[in-house]
Chains A and B, each alone.
Chain A
Amino acid sequence: MTRKIQKIGRRTVVVSGLAVMAAAALGAGASAQDAGLGTAEHPVEIRVSANESFANQMQTLVVPEFNKVYPNIKVTVDSVPFVEYLAKAMLDITSPSPLYDVAIVDEKWVPQLASTGGLADLKSGDIAAWTDVGYDWDDFYQAALSSGEWSGVQYGVPLRSNLLLMFYNKTLFEKAGLPAPTPELTWTEYLEQLPKLVQDTNGDGQVDAWGIDTYFIREPNTPAIWQAILSGNGGRFFDENAQPAFNNEAGISALETHKKLLDYAPPGALSHGFTESLQAFRQGQVATLFNWVSVYKGTAIDAATTTLKPEEVGVQALPVGSVSGGTYRGVWNGTVPANSQNKQAAWAFLQWLSSKEGEQFYANELGIAPARQSTLNSTPKYDWLVPVFTAMRQGFEVAAQGEMWTLRHPRSDAALQVITDETARALANEIPVAEALQIAADRIPEALQ
């Protein structure tokens, strides 16, 4: 490390006082004894970084429940907005003394964070020794657990498992004289139905309901839609060597299909993403919606946020392609920074959260999507969870079959950004679909370097 500093020093273009101070302070902080689980006199404090959308819920509802079991572990949950989360997490875990003992991270960041050596292996060493005998790793859906794995090492446990699913409005299907979708609905059938779902429901001569709304805007989640279509047709986004596998007929047809959906989407849909498509569906303006399972409660149940009735809303995997239905996995993983000084307490927290009991608690009481077979096969406490559990079981199965998730690579976000750029240009008709895929495929190897 010292040598590196000297090298930096020689190259410094402008040497400033602060630079010298910063360099002098580098290399501080050696790992000390782990603080254990705490005692009544000396409670141990752990800090958790979580996405802003659930940090508060975790702090106010989950932590008190955890403290019933571990009263001597004080948990503080800090919130970080999504877009800057990766950079912040990266800065923190690469520090010799990270601020956070638990980092709850999106699955696509696990390889990126793990490859810096900043994350602890959850299945070996001390952490394995601190794991309860009854902690059942095999109970997780493989499609969920694999999201926390990188090059054969388990760095994360699934805490919130999101799946891209198809929501449908039964009333609008009925008005169009169409049968409500079933899990067997194929893309061919669906594309035939879509024109009929663009309809005038109140007879005033103006179209007021459309077929579909989902991600079309220029953002990193948008390629997930045509990836899900591609996967359902048995195609792959990337091969085992992380080389682009989408630059072929199957890929072109998947992105063409995604683009074709725009013809049956409401005006302005090209700038619609997560929130806008969701609101259009909740207003009863679109018959189908491809969105995340986490929005189910606010879409079908909660009268404060939706105009739809529970019995109007159906949910299942995306239509069936030549091989299977489509979905896309998005799992938030609990990880422990390798340099944390409270690893035992941190793991106790994560272990409890992802245990059978922990999942039962937050799946039933908070409606957070679980990842364990025992949870998804159990009878939920509330009736509205039944269709969610059913759809999730279907989702996890097809996800595992078609590996329907993001590229697993230490530079995955850079590759995803390239795909996002070109997908956006193709959807906006700036360049033909085939050209967009060609450019993306050409650029990705450089992005992954």
Chain B
Amino acid sequence: MTTETTTYRERRVRSLAFARIGDFASRWTFMLPAAIIMIAMLAYPISYMTQISFSRFDLMTFSPGEWVGWDNYAKVLADYRFWSSLRVTAVYLVFALPLQIILGFGIAYLIHAEWRGRGLIRGLFIIPMVVAPVVAGGIWRMMLDPLWGIANYFLGFFGIGPFDWFGDPNLAMASVVIIDTWRWTPFIVLIASAALLSLPRDVFEAAEIDGANWWQMLCYIALPLLAPIIAATFVVRWLGAVKMFDIVLSATLGGPGAATKVINLFIYEEAFRSLRFAESSAMAVLVLVGTTILTGIFLWGSRRLENEP
């Protein structure tokens, strides 16, 4: 491997240096592909977004025009619609996120038993996710319509309702939460099932022999072991849910009034309908800042969860 002329010392230094470089490189090999793709794809769009949020938008060239400082931000912050859609988004998140996480992990735990049908159940369970939002929102729109919808018809047998699902502001928000939960719980079930599969089985077997019932196994074994993954799922789902507008766009169109107009629907309408890209970018930056702060808090919380055991 080495030539005769090199002394032992020289060889040692060189191989150490090589090893250090090699080690450094091999560590970074893991991070690089993702980092390169993300930077190549996002650096320009994010800088573009930031720039036009400080400029007058030039529709002729689709580029930032004259620099206007904080004008767009001032406009957005003075707009009652911005604040009302933030409020709507907060309500949606407060209801939808915990519901989805609890239902998702709950159902995954329920069907995590060794029986022949579980592969089928898991396979079928992902279907609500597969249906594109346009169709999903539309099917629910059909099912919840008071005139021809199956929901009121069915509830009528139990003497409940009739409800004007999309006509009442609170019910409309409830509908959006239901539809979103229907779509995203399967995603969490999918992840949670994989998490349960990767748990060490011998721990459960030992507990079973010791006479633990499944409730005890859930609380004292499964949940603590799952904590990092629950935290990760929550963060990922939170970042997805903040951006939600497709379901609203296809089910309620933000109505009635502005009862389900979430912030991303507003950003979308400002950009694609009104062609107010500058204001819409300013809102996007504000949302990004808000999301960053809240995500930071969640990450801090989940780090504590991870370090606990």
Contact = CB atoms under 8 A, between A and B. Distances in A.
B252 A19 contact: no
B306 interface: no
B261 to A, nearest CB: 8
Interface string B48-82: 10110010000111111001000000010000010
A149 interface: no
Contact of A87 (B81, B147, B164, B272): B272
B235 to A, nearest CB: 24
B296 to A, nearest CB: 20
B47 A417 contact: no
A86 B62 contact: no
Contacts of B43: 14, 16-19
B169 A15 contact: no
B257 A417 contact: no
B132 to A, nearest CB: 12
B287 interface: no
B106 interface: no
Interface string A214-245: 00011110000000000000000000000000
B140 to A, nearest CB: 11
A47 B145 CA distance: 40
Contact of B273 (A15, A218, A269, A413): A413
A91 B51 contact: no
Interface string A116-135: 11100000000000000000
B131 interface: no
B274 A414 contact: yes
Interface residues of B, number: 49
What size tier do the contact residues of chain A reach? Answer: 35 or more
A275 to B, nearest CB: 9
A112 interface: yes
A91 B252 CA distance: 28
B51 A13 contact: yes
Contacts of A116: 59-60
Given A11-B51, A15-B47, A428-B259, A217 B253 contact: yes
Contact of A217 (B47, B255, B270): B255
Contacts of A91: 62
Given A8-B51, A11-B67, A87-B272, A270 B147 contact: no
A445 to B, nearest CB: 13
A94 B269 contact: no
Contact of A83 (B40, B145, B169, B272): B272
B59 A94 contact: yes
A421 B147 contact: no
A97 to B, nearest CB: 14
Contacts of A430: 169, 256-259
Nearest to A91: B62
Given A19-B44, A94-B62, A270-B164, A86 B257 contact: no
B59 A90 contact: yes
A273 B252 CA distance: 11
B145 A268 contact: yes
B39 interface: yes
A276 interface: yes
B275 A270 contact: no
Interface in B67-121: 67, 75, 81
A326 interface: no
Interface in A184-229: 217-220
A218 B257 contact: yes
Given A87-B275, A424-B255, 10 more contacts: A4-B63, A14-B47, A18-B40, A18-B43, A22-B44, A86-B273, A90-B275, A116-B59, A417-B273, A428-B259
Interface of A: 1, 4, 8, 11-19, 22, 83-84, 86-87, 90-91, 94, 112, 116-118, 217-220, 266-271, 273, 276, 279-280, 283, 285, 411, 413-414, 417, 421, 424-425, 427-430, 446-447
18 contacts: A11-B67, A12-B47, A13-B47, A87-B271, A90-B62, A91-B62, A94-B59, A116-B60, A218-B255, A218-B261, A220-B273, A267-B162, A270-B255, A271-B167, A424-B254, A424-B256, A425-B258, A447-B274
